[in-house]
Structure 1
Amino acid sequence: MKYYFTFVLLFVFSAMFSQEDAWVYFKDKPSAQLFLNKPLDMLTQHSLDRRTNQNISLDATDVPVEKSYFSQIKASAGITIMANSKWLNALHIRGTQADILALKSFLFVEKVVFANKALNTTSKKVSETKLIQTNDKLKTSIDYAYGNSANQIQMLNGQALHKQNYTGSGKIIAVLDAGFPGVNTATPFQNLQAKNQILGGYDFVNRNTNFYTGDDHGTLVLSTMGGYKENELVGTAPDASYYLFITENDASENPVEESLWVEAAEKADSLGVDIITTSLGYFGYDNVDYSHTYSDMNGSTNFISRGAEVAFSKGIIVVASAGNEGRTAEPHIGAPADAVSVITVGSVDSAKIKSNFSSIGPSFDNRIKPDVMAQGTATVVSSATGSIGTANGTSFSCPVMAGMIACLWQAFPTKTNKEIRQMLLEISDRYATPDNSYGYGIPNFGSTLGVENFLASSDFSVFPNPSKTFVSFSFSNENYDALVSIYSVLGQKLIEKQITNQNPILSVEALNSGLYFYTFEAEGLHKTGKIIKQ
């Protein structure tokens, strides 16, 4: 009995004095109006312009955490501040359970949430098994053999944008990853350096400005977008500009990385970034008590996913890897891939077949995930030394897609992030019949919503659309005859008809309800687009 009592004392002592991770949330921001009156004190002009272009108003989430709140938490006994989020009005803290709970005595504290859900008295017990996952970089593998990057672009028909000089120019992409060694020295990145397209960066893990360090995973990721080595590698957005942020600590897996990610996303927002791409995924942690369960993948539970959703509300497009857990006991997407507005990218091979490692959907609340697919098997990348090889993982299908989205947005500069996201889904080959392996499928960036339609003259229309019985093509009187073809989403030609200005009607009555694509060919006029049959 004596030995049992000693064991209990040791257990209680350990529980009371072990370090825990938690978030402390605040009730308000008393200085909010002062910042809102002077927006340049918290955001750059680039950031304000992005909001203006998308009709997005400033609000309290743009305002920093109240300094006095921060100071009082920092001065509290036993508390270490690990990260800071203005969007969620919270601090990520570390301390003993007792010291963290003591923070509730502050009147400005709204709530304290422990990373270990068992310590949250209001949380419900979950019967699912938590996973230990020790590599948030999505378990990539690289084979340093010569590769040809043409296929990963041509699969998306990205060359249709590139040929029209839509190569990402004017768009800013933030890469949130584990490190970027070699980006300042390796040959495939010299094009970016020479043109000052690396705008800056930061190491949030070590809190310093040396971002050309850490794990080379971020280097590989960046190369799929901004890399260039003649006849070997061309990135999907070679003329975009980039910020490089380290948020992933490769030495350990802890939920603080979710908080660092949100902090970096906030920095990206303040700098006027258009697109955030992240090849990081969070499900399990070194401490199994911190690990997520599938029920957390609902878009509103995980700290990082809520941050990603706020980023989207600020006019940013967020692109995330689906994950590489497709062959495991828990094959579903992680966070932030579960977020509602995040463009979650799965992986296919060069033949457009889903990679067996690519994580699947749905989200726990039964939304389609992933959203779209790109090549993630044998994707051509550059290493930190400049060697060109191939790598496997949704870590690479994600930035391949992000780069093409930058090109698309460059072609449609007046579109909002919401409109670009919807366009992406609509130009994907499974848009009419999405599933939780391929999502909406593989986008065709040269199709109806691609550059050809953007550049063409406005004196052309197709109506009614959607239609039950017929569509009519209105086109310039200078084009007397035209050939119209109707295709299924799988590319099968179903209808072909010659039309004229005098008889511009095409019957679609024989088609089943669904989405179809058309081509319109006339002298001096080429059009492509979609038709919805009701």
Structure 2
Amino acid sequence: MKCYFMIVLLAFSSVMFSQEDAWVYFKGKPNAQTYFDTPSQMLSVRALERRSNQNIALDFTDVPVEKKYVSQVRLSAGITIMAQSKWLNALHIRATQSNISALKSLSFVDKVVFANKTLNSTSKKVMNNEVLKTDKPLKNKADYVYGSSANQVQMLNGQVLHQKNYTGTGKIIAVLDAGFPGVNTAQPFKKLIDNHQILGGYDFVNRNDNFYTGDDHGTMVLSTMGAYTENALIGTAPDASYYLFITEYDPAENPVEESYWVEAAEKADSLGVDIITSSLGYFEFDNPDYTHTYSDMDGATNFISRGAEIAFSKGIIVVASAGNEGNTAESHIGGPADAVSVITVGSVTSLKVKTSSSSIGPSFDNRIKPDVMAQGGPAMVSNSAGNIVTANGTSFSCPIIAGMIACLWQAFPLKSNKEIRQMVLQSSDRYTAPDNNYGYGIPDFGLTLEAETLNSSSVFLVFPNPARTTVSFLFETALASVSVYSVLGQKLIEKQITKQNPILSVEGLKSGLYFYTFEADGLHKTGKIIKQ
């Protein structure tokens, strides 16, 4: 009888005191104005320049989470803080259900959302679908000997960009993955290391700076962009620079990895990264109560997908793998591939035929997904030992595209992320007849380069910049409209100028950084003005 009582008590305890994952959202950021007054507290100079170049104002999401709120949650009974997001003004926490629910009584807490949707008062009904995890400057003409990697570059006509010396120089790519062992020692990455193209990184899972560790999935992903071994493997962006972030804990699958991912994306934004590429996807978790359903894949529900969309709003291009669930009971894309502005990449064979494992669309709200396709069945990669091997999956078609985007953006540095994204889609071979297996098809980066070069032939110039009293605009049409904005998006000047009198006075502005927009007969330009 005593033994039976102990068993019952243990069972009761396991239910009552089991740990749950949840997000606690805050109502505001009391010190926001302090950060707006000194933007360098939030973002690097390069990050501010990226915003300026694309006419993107600072906003509430750029301000860090209020430290007092974090401290009070940390001091609450039984709460462990796993991650935090300034973009979503939230903490990812772990505790018992009762301790998490108690946070709702704090005056600054807006809401608490459990990863287990059945614990939320407005939760969706959980479906019982069987779902599996998704996989996880040159002075001379760059005439590369691609070797075995030739097809994965030439399928995209990427060699045209490379031959014109658009090899990713000046662009920064953040790779969010499970680990990067061997990148600091293996031969295919020697050029990146020797030229200091690995700018840094962080392990968000273990909270340390040792990112040359973990699962070698990230190593293989990076190799499709940055590796350089002649006549064997040359990546699609060998002259780009990279940050390496570990956000995936490979032995287990838990929603906290979505929060790590958003943290890393926020860090990438603050560092001035241009492109985020991530061959990670989330649908099923080890705890079935946390598992997503297809109805979550609407671009607005998943924590990671909301974070990816905010990253895009900051001027970053986000590239994500579609997933490798095409042959499973639930064959649809996961998060963040479902996000509206993410460039979701599926996989084709060397003959441009969709691999059967490549996950399909549409998103739950019936948008075309994937967006584009590239070779992933198989792709040439480097492992952590430096061996050139083949690997299958959208994990590799995704960064192949990301690298080519870096090269294209190098060619057109004044384009916004929205414009570059649209250029990639429009160059794809199924653009006029997309479907949810191939999306818009396989991009042609060489064709995009040629077409945009012709379209960009019109004359446009802004000078002097920096300026003390006036700025002049050189353009070909008769009339134009110019507006000047503060870094917070407040319109300060609006004026019509002519080709004969193209001068704009900035004498009334304080010294600092400003955005401008220029509109003239179909010509739209944005940029920055520095007032001395």
TM over 0.5: yes
Q: Quote the Cα distance in structure 1 between the aligned partners of 2:113 and 2:10.
A: 25
The 2-side partners of 1:124 and 1:453 are apart by 46
Return the letter of the residue paired with 2:449. Answer: G
Alpha-carbon distance, 1:450 to partner: 1.1
Q: Which residue of 2 aligns with 1:352?
A: 352
Residue of structure 1 aligned with 2:135, choices 113, 118, 137: 137
CA drift at 1:121: 1.6
Residue 224 (str. 1) matches residue 224 (str. 2): yes
Q: CA deviation at 1:123?
A: 1.4
What does residue 454 of structure 1 align with? 453
Q: Which residue of 1 aligns with 2:509?
A: none
Counterparts of 2:389 and 2:13, CA distance in 1: 52
Q: Which residue does the alignment assign to 2:526?
A: none
How far is 1:42 from its partner? Answer: 1.1
CA contact (8 A) 1:130 1:284 kept: no
> Which residue does 2:264 correspond to in 1?
264
2:389 is paired with a residue of what secondary structure? strand
Give the match for residue 463 of structure 1: none
Give 1:15 shift. Answer: 2.6
Structure 2 counterpart of 1:335: 335
In structure 2, what is the equivalent of residue 141 of structure 1? none
Change (3 A) 1:363 1:3: farther
C-alpha spacing 1:27/1:130, structure 2 compared with 1 (3 Å): farther
Give the TM-score, by structure 2 length: 0.82
Matched residue type, 1:323: G
Q: Find the residue that maps to 1:439 and give its secondary structure.
A: coil
Matching of residue 385 in structure 1 with residue 370 in structure 2: no
Work out whether residues 169 and 407 of structure 2, in 8 Å CA contact, stay in contact via their aligned partners in 1: yes
After TM superposition, give the deviation of residue 16 of structure 1 in Å. Answer: 2.0
Cα distance, 1:95 vs. partner? 0.2
| 1:458 positional shift | 2.8
CA distance in 1 between counterparts of 2:179 and 2:41 reads 29
- Please give the per-residue CA displacement for 1:109-150, whole angstroms capped at 9, x wherever unaligned: 000000000111221323x225454x5533xxxxxxx97000
Q: Is the 8 A contact 1:147 1:389 kept in 2?
A: no
Question: 2:148 is paired with a residue of what secondary structure?
Answer: coil
Structure 1 residue runs of 4 or more that deviate by more than 6 Å after TM superposition: 2-9
SS of 1:376 mapped into structure 2: strand
Is 1:430 paired with 2:434?
Answer: no
CA 292–372 in structure 1, closer or farther in 2 if over 3 Å, else same: same
1:51 aligns with 2:51: yes
Q: Distance between the aligned counterparts of 2:458 and 2:334, measured in 1?
A: 46
* SS of equivalent residue, structure 2 residue 377: coil
**Per-residue deviation, residues 247-296 of structure 1 (Å, max 9, x unmatched):** 00012110000000000000000000000000000000111110001010
Q: Which amino acid aligns with 1:349?
A: T
Measured in 1, the distance between the counterparts of 2:5 and 2:313 equals 54
Match of 1:152, SS? helix
Work out the CA distance in 2 between the residues paired with 1:130 and 1:170.
45
Give the match for residue 413 of structure 1: 413
Counting matched residue pairs gives 450
Asked if the contact 2:134–2:334 (Cα under 8 Å) also holds between the matched residues in 1, the reply is no
Deviations 1:59-94 (A, max 9, x none): 110010000000000111100000010000000000
1:27 aligned partner, one-letter code: K
The separation in 2 between residues aligned to 1:414 and 1:147, in whole angstroms, is: 33
The one-letter amino acid of 1:137's match is: D
Distance, in Å, in 2 between the alignment partners of 1:212 and 1:338 is 29
Structure 2: segments with no counterpart, 5+ residues? 137-145, 460-532
Q: Is the 8 A contact 1:26 1:111 kept in 2?
A: yes
**1:457 and 1:306 mapped to 2: Cα distance?**
34
In the alignment, the residues of structure 2 paired with residue 136 and residue 10 of structure 1 have an alpha-carbon distance, to the nearest angstrom, of 35
Corresponding residue of 1:509: none
Distance 1:457 1:331, change over 3 A: closer
Distance (Å, rounded) in 2 between the aligned partners of 1:31 and 1:87: 15
* 1:142-189 deviation digits (Å, cap 9, x = unpaired): xxxx97000000000001111100001000000000000000000000
SS at match of 2:446: coil
Question: In structure 2, do the counterparts of structure 1 residues 8 and 365 end up closer, same or farther at CA, with 3 Å as the change threshold?
Answer: farther
| 1:411–1:451 contact (8 Å) kept in structure 2 | no
CA distance in 2, matches of 1:399, 1:228: 15
Structure 1 SS opposite 2:289: helix
Partner residue in 1 for 2:206: 206
Q: Percent identity?
A: 73
Check conservation: 1:132, 1:285, Cα contact below 8 A.
no
In structure 1, what is the Cα distance between the partners aligned to 2:338 and 2:424?
Answer: 18
User: Aligned-pair RMSD on alpha carbons?
Assistant: 2.0
Secondary structure of the residue that 1:450 maps to in structure 2? helix
Q: Residue 292 and residue 147 in structure 1: after superposition, are their counterparts in 2 closer, same or farther (change >3 A)?
A: farther
Contact residue 131 and residue 291 of structure 1 kept, 8 A: no
Gap change, CA 1:125 and 1:5, over 3 Å in 2: farther
Does 1:274 pair with 2:288? Answer: no
TM-score under structure 1 length normalisation: 0.82
- For structure 1, the residue ranges without an aligned partner over 5 or more in a row are 139-145, 461-534
